Amino acid sequence: MTSPFYTAEHNAFRDVMRRFVEKEIEPFAHEWDEAGEFPRALYRKAAGIGLLGLGFPEEYGGIAADQFMKIVASQELARAGAGGISASLMSHTIGSPPIARAARPEVRARVLPQVLSGEKISALAITEPGGGSDVANLRTKARRDDDHYVVSGEKTFITSGMRADYLTVAVRTGGEGAGGVSLLLIEGDTPGLSRTKLKKMGWWASDTATLHFDECRVPVENLIGEEGQGFKIIMQNFNSERMGMAAGCTAFARVCLDEAIAYARERKTFGKPLAQHQVIRHKIVDMAQKVAASQAMLELLAWRLEQGESPVAEICMMKNQATQTMAFCASEAVQIFGGAGFMRGIKAERIYREVKVNAIGGGTEEIMKDLASRQMGL
């Protein structure tokens, strides 16, 4: 695939990423999915090629990266066809930006180098059992007690929740609504913190948890930003998160397309390869058309972000476009595989199980449409 947006530097990094995925992830993806986890050593290996540091300040071990470098990273990871591995390995991309952006200097200096080197794991904890994406009305409370906050409440559906060393947690320090929300960095060994592992439809290799905070004492210096400013900091995360999800989903759709093409050329029915049946060729072209359209939209939005724009409505639509493309291509790939597509072990089957988490996480399709319509003045 050629594109005017990628430089020699982007392509060199793509080569590094592709070798990394082919050696360190792809051969083990099915095994790790069945086991429900992957080795912590993978974080250090990912840090070794610069993956974990992309876009973070260089003074803490980060690497300068534009939107297209991040697309390369997301899309090369997706080639393994294992969204759970990508989600947990990269959970710091939603957990650590608030730290880099708004934590106290001494906290940044202590935490970020450990995360970006792969020694520690960072996660974001926003969603609550009764709240979903309604961030402004979260209920987990943090009351001030001298030089600590005392935190009580629950978070759920937290990616890397079981083994995260650092949790960026949204809490209520003030009154009702967005203005009462703050962010705290809560360390994984804090007394009163307990975790419950969740079983999921897909993303099996990603540990996902409900977190329970029972009078957890958190030092006041772990406040991220100012009291009452947490909602604004959380919102700043969303453009990046949704672009990353859109890049990954588009690439997962392409994996399904590639697998379907390879299988259709090899598998014979009624005396000829599947690819020589018109109905199969039409399915493949429909898949290719949707992937190409999604990739073009993604790259144009990335370019606009690089120009300093903040096209929120289009990013919301892009997230929906990509997840719908992934859903279509996963379904068609499994259909082309027939009975073999229903068997565990192939990428298309794994991706098919992961469709819904992408359409829900980072904001559901319905929320994306509502946000986009508001940005359009409707």
Place of tokens 């939005």: 301
H-type alpha helices, 117-229 = none
Cα distances (Å, whole numbers) of residue 316 to 164, 182, 302, 310, 368: 28, 25, 13, 11, 5
Q: How far apart are CA 54 and CA 62, in angstroms?
A: 6
H-type alpha helices, 3-64 = 8-20, 29-35, 41-48
Count of alpha carbons within 13 angstroms of residue 314, beta-carbon side: 14
Tell me which of 24, 128, 241, 354 is the catalytic residue: 241
CB atoms under 10 Å from CB of 125, counted, come to 29
Place of tokens 């000829």: 272
Three-state DSSP class for 208?
Answer: strand
Q: How far apart are CA 233 and CA 96, in angstroms?
A: 12
Q: How far apart are CA 377 and CA 313, in angstroms?
A: 10
| Spatial CA neighbour of 185 closest among 91, 98, 105 | 98
Give every CB contact of residue 351 below 8 A, 6+ residues apart in sequence: 81, 83, 252, 255, 256, 326, 330, 333
CB atoms under 10 Å from CB of 190, counted, come to 15
User: Which H or E run includes 240?
Assistant: helix 230-266
Q: How far apart are CA 362 and CA 41, in angstroms?
A: 27
227 counts as catalytic? no
Annotated catalytic residues are 241
